[in-house]
Structure 1
Amino acid sequence: MLNLIKKKIALIWAKKHVAEAFTFQKNAVEDQEKLLLSLVKTAEKTLFGREHQFENIHAISDFQNKVQIADYEDLKPYIEKVKKGQRNILWTETPQYFAKTSGTTSGSKYIPISKEGMPFQLNAARSALFHYMAQKNNSDFVSGKMIFLQGSPELEEINGIQTGRLSGIVAHHIPNYLQKNRLPSQQTNLIEDWETKVDEIVKETEKENMTLISGIPPWLIMYFEKLIERNGKKITNLFPNLQLIITGGVNYEPYREKMEELLGGKVDTLQTFPASEGFFAFQDNFEKEGLLLLTNHGIFYEFIPLEEYGKPEAKRLTLGEIELNKDYALILTTNSGLWAYSIGDVVRFISKDPFRILVSGRTKHFTSAFGEHVIAFEVEEAMKATVEKFPAQITEFHLAPEVNPSEGLPYHEWLIEFEKEPENLDDFRKNLDDEMRKRNSYYDDLISGKILQPLIITALKKKAFQEFAKSEGKLGGQNKIPRLANDRKIADFLEKFKISFSTS
C-alpha cells in the first residue's frame, strides 16, 4: 500500500513539473540574456569581475568583448587562489565543493560548485526522471532498488571546501526517501579499485529487485557481463522488474546493440549530459533522439562553429543564432564562477523548438592528420550504420591515423574490440569506409585523390580497452575512452592486443 501511494505521488509531481517546464522552453533565448547579465551583476565585485570591468557590461556583446574564451589553464590561477582560502575571486562566495576531475594536460582539475550551482545539478537529474515518468505514465521503478555506478563518495577538504568526484558529491544529496532503495552500500561505494568494486556490487545486487540502473555504457556492460557470468541469466531474467537504464557521458548508440544483447529484453533507456561544470541536457522524450538543453539552470551558453574553434576571431554565437545540424564547441558561463569556459564538448542542434542537441564529440578528440577533421559523431554514425548491415557486435573502438606506414599510402586505422566479428571482415571494412566517405567530404576527397588508402581494421583481444583504461588510472566511474585521436598514443598501447589485421 505504501509503495502504491509513493508511486501515485511521484506521478502527480512528474506531470506538474513537466507542465511547468514548457515555460523555460518557450522563453529560452530571452532568459539566457537575462541570466548572463544577472551573473555578471552578482560577480561585479569579485577579483575576476573587477579585472574584466563587469560594471561596464550591459549586453552580451559587452561580455564577449571583455571576457575571452578560457580553458582550465586560463582559470587555474584564480582557482589556486580559491584553494588557498581566498574569497570573492571567481564568485561572491567560497565554493561549496570542488569537483575533482582527471585532466589530460593539466593534471587534476578542481571545478568549483557554488551553493547556488549544486541544486541545479540535483534538479536536472530529478527533472529527467519526471519527464520520463510523465511520458510513460508510469512510476513503478520508484518502489524497487536503484543503482548508480559511480566514484567513491569519500570527500577530502581543501581549506574547508569539500572535494571529490562529482558522482561522489551527488551521493551526499540523495533524498532520504530514496536512500533505502539505493544500492550499493556505503562500504562498497568506498572501494577505490574499480574491478573489486564491481565484483562487490554484483554480489550486493544480484538477488535484489533492481528497477533502475544508471552509469556510462562501458561500465554498465562490465557490470552486466559479471552478473551474467555468475548467474547464467540475461539481465532481464535476473531483474524482471528492471524498467529504466540511465546513461550519460558518451553517445549511447554505438553500445546499443551490445547492451540489448546483454539485457535480453526491452528496457527503456534515458540519455543525459551531466558534467562537473553543470548538468546541461537530458532526453525529455525517451523514444526520440535528442537531449533537451537546460537553459534556465544557472548556465549561459555560447557556441563556436567547430571549424573556427581556436582561432582568435572565432564567432561566439548565442542560442538565437545557432543553425541546425552544425557542430559547435560548447562554451559556458555558470553560477559557480566559470566565465566563457570551454568545456571541450562539441554539440549539434537537431531542434530549435525546443532546443535539443546531440553530443557530437570533443574539441580535443578528432583525427585530422591529413586535414580531414573527422569528429566522434561521424565515426560513431558510420559504425552504427555498418553494424546494422552486418551481423556483428562491437564492444569498443578507437580510430588513429597511420601517417608513415611501412608500405603503401597512409590510412586511418580502426582498432576494434569485437564481441562478435562479422563473417566477412573485409566486406565490413569496405562498408565502414563507404559510410565514412558519405559523412566527411574531406576524407572522401583524400581517398579519391589517392592521398589515403581506404581504412584498415585491426581486431583486438577481449578487454583490450579495459586494460588501457586501467593503465591510465581511469577504470570505472565516469571515465571514458576517446573514440578517436590525432596521434597514436592509444593505438600504440593497443598494439599488443592485436589478434588480426585486414588487408586493404
Structure 2
Amino acid sequence: MEIINSILTWVMKKRIHDIELFMKYPHEVQEELRISLLNRAAKTEYGLKYGFESITTREEYQRNVPIVSYEDLFPYIERLMKGRQNVLWPSEVRWFAKSSGTTNARSKFIPVSPEALEDCHYKGGKDLLSIYVNNYPDTKMFTGKNLVIGGSQQVNQFDKNAKSYYGDVSAVLIKNLPFWAQMVRTPSLDIALMDEWEEKIEKMAHYTIDENVTSISGVPTWTIVLLERILELRGVDSILDVWPNLEAFIHGAVAFKPYRQLFKSLIPSENMRYMETYNASEGFFGIQDLTDSTEMLLMLDYGIYYEFIPVEEWDNENPKTLSLEEVEVGKNYAIIISTNAGLWRYKIGDTVRFTSVDPYRIKISGRTKHFINAFGEELIIENAEEAISAACERTMAEMENFTAGPRYLQAGAKGCHEWVIEFNKHPDDLERFKQILDEKLREINSDYDAKRHKDMALTAPIIHQVPKGTFYSWMKGRGKLGGQNKVPRLSNNREYLDDLLGVLA
C-alpha cells in the first residue's frame, strides 16, 4: 500500500500546474470557455432558439440569452427525462441529480451530461486530492480507504422506456466511478446506494468498522450519525480507536462551523485535517486550497462559465450581471452559471463573497432567499409558509408572525428546527399544530423528509409561543420598524432566534 500511496500522490500532484494556469489567466480561461460552450450547443433546441451561433461577445450573450430559474428550464428538462436528446446539450444525457428547493415541484432534477461527469464533477474530485497531497506531502491517505457517505440512486420513474436515471448527486457520481476509484472507496456499492437511511447507516457501520479508513467524504450531519453508531458498536469514545490512521474529513453541503467542536470530540486529534468543498447538483465550484483558511479557490476550467449578480440587483426582473473580472472583494453576489450540462445563465440560488481576486477565492455567504440548511434539508420560505398555513387552518389558529432556525447537533443530542410563533388566535391543540407543521414540511420537501426519517438526523420541531407584540418590540429594538422591514422568516444560524428569545428572558 505504501507503493500505491507514493504513485497516487505523484499522479495527483501533476494537475497542480493546470490549476496554477487558470489562477494566472482566469479571464482568458473563462472567455475561451464561454465561446466553446456556445459552439458546442449551437445546434441544440435551446441554442437554435437563442441564436448561439451568432453570439460573438459577452455583451451579446447577456442581451440574447435570458437568466433562468429551474422552473423556466423545467419544460426542457422534462423532455430530456422522457428520452429526448439534443435539447439543452448535444451529448446524450441519461443521468439527473435530484435535489429539493424548487417552488413548482417536490424535487428538481438537474441534467448531468457525460462532460459534466468527467470534466466537472470527477475533475473536481481529482483536483481536491491534488491540492490535498500538494499541501500535505507526508499524507498516507492512499494506504487505506475513503469512506464515502453518499445518497441513493434509482431508475427514473417518468418514463421507463427512456433509460434515464436519477439520484442524489453523490450517488450519481458513485454509480459512474471508474473501477480504480471504486477500489479505494468504501462501503460496497450496494450499501452506498441504499435509499433507506436507517438500514443504510447500520450496514455502513458494520461494513466499515474493520476497514482501514484514512479519509471520510460527506455531509457533516450524516457523518456524525454514522460515527456515533460506530462508537456505540465498538464501545469506545474516540473514532481513532476504530480507525487509527484517519487523517482527513472532506465536507460540503452545509456549514461546518457549528459542527467543528463536535467533530473534535469524536476525533480528538490535532493532526486531523478538514477540507471544504463547494460541490452541488449543478456542478463542482470550489475547493479549499489553503491550510490556514476555509476560503475556497473558484475552479475556472470545469466547463462552467460564471456570472455574478450584485446584491442590489437580486430582485430586479432583468438584473445586471458582472463577469469575473468585474467582481470586488468583500461583496456578496448571486451566482449565475452556464455549463457543459446545458444549464444556460442558470440561477442556482447561492450567494458568495469574494475573499480574493488574485486568485479568485470565495466563501459561501448564503442563499438569495432566507432558508434553513443546517442539516442538508434546504428548507425555503415557501415550504415554511405553506406548512404553517396548513397547521393554522387545521387547528383553528391565526398566526401573527414567526421565525425559525436550527438547533444544532450536540454530543448525545440530535438537531431540530426551533420556531418562535406569535399567534393572534392560539391553536386549539399546540401538539397537534406541531405535528401538522412537521408532516406538511415532510410532504412538500423531500430533503427535510429524509433528514426527519425515524428521527435519524433531525427530530421533531420545537415551538415557542410568544405573547402578542413580541415581534413588534423585537423589530423596534433592532431599528427595523416600517414597511420595507420584514421579519426574517428563516435563518441558517441562531442569530435571530437567540436575540428574540433573549427579549423574553
Which TM-score band (shorter chain)? 0.7 to 0.9
2:450 aligned residue = 474
**Conserved? CA contact 1:399–1:412, under 8 Å:** no
Is residue 187–residue 204 contact of structure 2 (8 Å, CA) maintained in 1?
yes
Cross-structure match for 1:122: 122
Residue among 21, 26, 29 paired with 1:28: 26
Q: In structure 1, list runs of 5 or more residues that go unmatched.
A: 368-375, 381-393, 422-463
**CA positional deviation for 1:289:** 2.3
Deviation at 1:318, TM superposition (A): 0.7
Question: Which residue does 1:503 correspond to in 2?
Answer: 504
Contact 1:305 1:329 in 2 (8 A): yes
Note closer, same or farther for the CA distance 1:395–1:364 as it changes in structure 2 (3 Å cut).
closer
Deviation at 1:211, TM superposition (A): 0.5
The answer for the alignment partner of 1:286 in structure 2 is 291
Change (3 A) 1:420 1:154: closer
Of the candidates 5, 12, 17, which is equivalent to residue 14 of structure 1? 12
**Structure 2 match to 1:186:** 189
**TM-superposed deviation, 1:208:** 2.0
Instruction: Give the match for residue 268 of structure 1.
Output: 273
Indicate conservation of the 8 Å contact 2:404/2:489, yes or no. Answer: no
| Match among 416, 427, 431 for residue 407 of structure 2 | 416
Question: Could you list the per-position Cα deviations for residues 85-112 of structure 1 after superposition, in whole angstroms to 9, with x for gaps in the alignment?
Answer: 3332111233142222234422222211
For residues 322 and 403 of structure 2, the distance between their equivalents in structure 1, rounded to whole angstroms, comes to 33
Task: Please state if 1:304 is matched with 2:282.
Answer: no
* 1:73-222 correspondence to structure 2 within 5 Å: 73-105=71-103, 106-120=105-119, 121-156=121-156, 159-222=162-225
Which of 228, 245, 254 is matched with 1:225 structurally? 228
Question: C-alpha separation between the residues in 1 aligned to 2:167 and 2:123?
Answer: 20
1:398 and 1:86, CA in 2 relative to 1: closer, same or farther beyond 3 A? closer
Alpha-carbon offset, residue 365 of structure 1: 2.5
Q: Is the 8 A contact 2:93 2:112 kept in 1?
A: yes
Structure 2 residue aligned with 1:68: 66
Match of 2:329? 324
Per-residue deviation, residues 212-243 of structure 1 (Å, max 9, x unmatched): 11111111111122222222221122211001
Structure 2 CA distance for aligned equivalents of residues 487 and 412 of structure 1: 4
Partners of 1:318 and 1:480 in 2: CA distance: 39
* Greater alpha carbon shift after TM alignment, 53-62 vs 104-113: 104-113
1:451 — aligned with what?
none
Alignment counterpart, residue 489 of structure 2, candidates 461, 478, 487: 487
Aligned equivalents of 1:295, 1:490: Cα separation in 2: 28
1:322 partner amino acid: V
**How many percent of aligned residue pairs carry the same amino acid?**
34
Residues 150, 168 of structure 1: 8 Å contact kept: yes
AA partner of residue 303 (structure 2): G
- 1:247 touches 1:269 (CA, 8 Å); kept in 2? yes
Measure how far apart 1:281 and its partner are. 0.9
Inter-partner Cα distance in structure 2 for 1:154 and 1:399: 25
Aligned with 1:302: secondary structure? Answer: strand
Secondary structure of 2:450's match? Answer: coil
Decide whether the 8 Å contact of 2:353 with 2:362 is kept in 1.
Answer: yes
Change (3 A) 1:63 1:191: same
User: Separation in 2 of the partners of 1:412 and 1:476?
Assistant: 20
- 2:240 alignment counterpart: 236
Q: TM-score, normalised by structure 1?
A: 0.75
Relative to structure 1, is the Cα distance of residues 283 and 155 closer, same or farther in structure 2, using a 3 angstrom cutoff? Answer: farther
Q: 1:502 to 1:398 in 2, by over 3 A?
A: farther
1:328 shift after superposition: 0.7
Q: Following TM superposition, by how much is the alpha carbon of 1:152 offset from its aligned partner in structure 2, in angstroms?
A: 2.2
Q: Are the counterparts in 2 of residues 298 and 335 from structure 1 also a CA contact under 8 Å?
A: yes
Structure 2 distance, partners of 1:122, 1:297, is 10
| Aligned residues between the structures | 421
Q: Are 2:335 and 2:352, in contact at CA under 8 Å, matched by a contact in 1?
A: yes
Q: CA deviation at 1:30?
A: 1.4
SS in 2 for 1:329: strand
For residues 378 and 100 of structure 2, the distance between their equivalents in structure 1, rounded to whole angstroms, comes to: 22
| Corresponding residue of 2:35 | 37
For 2:165 and 2:378, the matched residues in 1 are separated by 36
Q: Distance in 2 between matches of 1:204 and 1:293?
A: 36
Q: Distance in 1 between matches of 2:293 and 2:490?
A: 36
SS at match of 1:116: helix
Give the AA of the match of 1:11: T
How far does residue 417 in structure 1 lie from its aligned partner after superposition?
Answer: 4.3
Quick one: distance in 1 between partners of 2:107 and 2:215? 31
Partner Cα distance (2:333, 2:114) in 1: 29
Partner of 2:475: none
- One-letter identity of the residue aligned with 1:318: S
Instruction: Give, in whole Å, the separation in 2 of the partners of 1:332 and 1:152.
Output: 26
How far does residue 271 in structure 1 lie from its aligned partner after superposition?
0.7
- Is the 1:397–1:414 Cα contact (8 Å) retained in structure 2? no
1:24 counterpart letter in structure 2: F
Give the aligned partner of residue 256 of structure 1: 260
Contact 1:97 1:163 in 2 (8 A): yes
Letter in 2 for 1:113: V
Letter in 2 for 1:204: Y
TM-score, normalisation: structure 2 = 0.75
Report the 3-state secondary structure (helix = DSSP H, G, I; strand = E; otherwise coil) of the residue aligned with 2:195: coil
In 2, distance between residues paired with 1:413 and 1:501? 15
